[in-house]
Structure 1
Amino acid sequence: MREFTRELKKVVIKVGSSSITHDHGVINLQKIDELAWELSNLKNHGIDVILVSSGAIAAGAKRLNLEERPRDTVGKQAASAVGQVALMNTYNRAFNEYNYQAAQILVTKHIETDMTMRENSKNTLCQLLSMDVIPIVNENDTISTFEIEFGDNDTLSAVVSRIIDADLLILLSDIDGLYNDDPNKNKDAHLIKEVNEINDELRAMAKGSNSAVGTGGMATKINAATLCMEKDIDVVIANSEDMKIIRKIVGGEEVGTIFKKKSN
């Protein structure tokens, strides 16, 4: 069984677009409901949770009957504006089934550097948690001037974790964790269960593949883990195919890859 650096009282969960939408962009109602059940159950056990959710652009593109996801920034921003409404309505209905209220928090990259925005974000998030509300955070794509640069919300989830001093960040997407090589190309590639230090070799490994199943998209997750480890916040990267993995992670089962500093 895994041991975490801290007792788990505040957990941030990030879900990627592929975790909550079908391949063609329609919101996956079953996955949303399963996610809401898992997070509500954590709340029932006295653990505060914040959800960082992607999926607005994909959902909006589908609602707008676009043939494909927009490639230009303004197209993505427009699709996000439509998709956020659909996504939040779906989340709110799901959480209401388990007697919890959801709240939407839209932020920009400025919360990293602007102390006033950072403090306001922290105060709002902490107040919502004290009221037993489940905050759902996303980047404010409609006004962001950073061209949706958070890296599929990986960095955003790390920033949020640091702001509220979370105990654990769970990054869920369509990958099992960090591999030592691309498993699609190397049948001997194996999952790395624990990382205690992020060095140049590890960063190079993360950039070495574009495979969604192996280490594709891993570079932004490594960056997110780096930000969290600086503040002694553990990070677990795991596959969202089955949302029950959330209870397994919190329960200390050795699934996915954990990033944590070695205890002194």
Structure 2
Amino acid sequence: MQRNLNACHRIVVKIGTSSLIHANGKVKLQTIDRLAYVLAALTNQGQEVMLVTSGAIGVGLARLHLTARPQAIAEQQALAAIGQSELMRLYTQRFADYEAQAAQLLLTHDVFEYPASRQHVLDTIDALLAAKAIPVINENDSVATDELDHRTTFGDNDQLSALVATQIGADLLIVLSDIDGLYSADPRTDPTARKIEALTHLSDTVLAGASGAGSRFGTGGMVTKLKAASTMMRAGRQMVLCSGADPRVILKVLAGEPVGTWFKPTAKEVIQ
């Protein structure tokens, strides 16, 4: 199936914690640098790009030289507050190296629950894109918690990225992960597993076959990525899931090369 993605103008890129943090807990500085280079290059050639980033707690762990994620919610939120400022410093520094302007947006689910606040956020994103700035979006982990009486959390940044992408009318969501696509089985345990290059429909079988969580630094897994794909496809939008080991893969995706798994909806998949 031929991928025609070079015409995509408004693009959301989501990168997971496992793509930003080494197994030893250190930050992958080269990954952040390459990501900044690609997004700056796309902005310079006239495309509108947004980044949904995980990693605040992972960077907080690295900053405080901790090896285990604490159990207490308040301690996790404190780590997120420390890590978010450091993560944003790294993004701002690397984007500046490529003459690009980063802009931080921290969101909770409440923002999209209420029409007025949702419109304010969408207007802000539009204004940033018009100014050639790159919105860097993350969940506000320091205040969002399932224990509050009202809904604040998105659950994970895979779902946040799909929600943002559909709300702002993005043509494409690119999810950079620690796996290079969707497989017929777990490639870590099944040598016969094959990568699925394209899907036009998410069947119950595919959804049931996805399992497993992310690394000790993150919260996502294949289930959350398929939920994001489902959100995009139901909105008539496309998504590509691919490896985040080298963010320059984004350029290959937009060139239509068969990297990762391409989720493209059929007419009957779209909810009007």
TM-score (norm 2): 0.89
> Which residue matches 2:182?
178
Paired residue for 1:69? 69
Question: 2:29 maps to which residue?
Answer: 29
Shifted more, 34-43 versus 71-80: the winner is 71-80
Kept after mapping to 2: 8 A contact 1:182/1:211? no
- Are 2:241 and 1:237 aligned? yes
Whether contact under 8 Å (1:109, 1:146) holds in the other structure is: no
Q: Which runs of 5+ in 2 are unaligned?
A: none
Question: Quick one: which of 195, 198, 223 aligns to 1:194?
Answer: 198
1:262 is matched with which residue: 239, 255, 266? 266
Would the aligned equivalents of 2:27 and 2:62 in 1 still touch at CA under 8 Å? no
Residue of structure 2 equivalent to 1:227 = 231
Note the alpha carbon deviations across 1:105-156, whole angstroms, 9 max, x for none: 0000123322122111101111000000001000001111336853441000
Query: Is structure 2 residue 112 aligned with structure 1 residue 112?
Result: yes
Whole-angstrom CA distance in 2 between matches of 1:70 and 1:143:
16
Within 1, Cα distance between the matches of 2:26 and 2:261? 29
Is the partner of 2:183 in helix, strand or coil? Answer: coil
Aligned residues: 259
CA distance in 2, matches of 1:203, 1:72: 31
Contact 1:176 1:237 in 2 (8 A): yes
The amino acid that maps onto 1:10 is: R
The SS at the match of 1:175 is coil
What RMSD over aligned residues (CA atoms) do the two structures have, in Å?
1.9
Aligned pairs for 1:51-62 within 5 A: 51-62=51-62
- Correspondence for 1:20: 20
Moved more, 62-71 or 81-90: 62-71
**Where does residue 47 of structure 1 map in the other structure?**
47
1:161 aligns to what SS in structure 2?
helix
1:211 CA displacement: 8.1
2:4 is the alignment partner of 1:3? yes
Which amino acid counterpart does residue 3 of structure 1 have in structure 2?
A: N
Q: What does the per-residue CA deviation read over 1:143-188, in whole Å, with 9 as the maximum and x for residues that have no partner?
A: 1133685344100000110111000000001011111111222211
Which TM-score applies when normalising by structure 1?
0.92
Kept in 1, the 8 Å contact 2:176–2:247? The answer is: no
Alpha-carbon distance between aligned partners in 2 of 1:150 and 1:189, rounded to the nearest angstrom:
31
Which runs of structure 2 are paired with 1:142-181 in the superposition (5 Å)? 142-146=142-146, 149-181=153-185
In the aligned structure 2, how far is the partner of 1:56 from the partner of 1:87? 6
Contact 1:105 1:135 in 2 (8 A): yes
**Distance in 1 between residues matched to 2:74 and 2:250, nearest whole Å:** 34
Query: What is the CA deviation profile of residues 3-55 of structure 1, one whole-angstrom value per residue up to 9, with x for unaligned ones?
Result: 24x93110000001111222232222111111100111111221110000111
**What SS does the aligned partner of 1:248 have?**
helix
- In the TM superposition, what is the alpha-carbon distance from 1:210 to its structure 2 partner? 5.5
Equivalent runs, 1:82-93 vs 2, <5 Å: 82-93=82-93
Query: 1:245-256 residue pairs with structure 2 within 5 A?
Result: 245-256=249-260
> C-alpha displacement at 1:230, in angstroms?
1.5
For 2:67 and 2:240, the matched residues in 1 are separated by: 35
In structure 2, how many angstroms separate the alpha carbons of the residues matched to 1:210 and 1:103? 30
Q: Is the 8 A contact 1:60 1:80 kept in 2?
A: yes
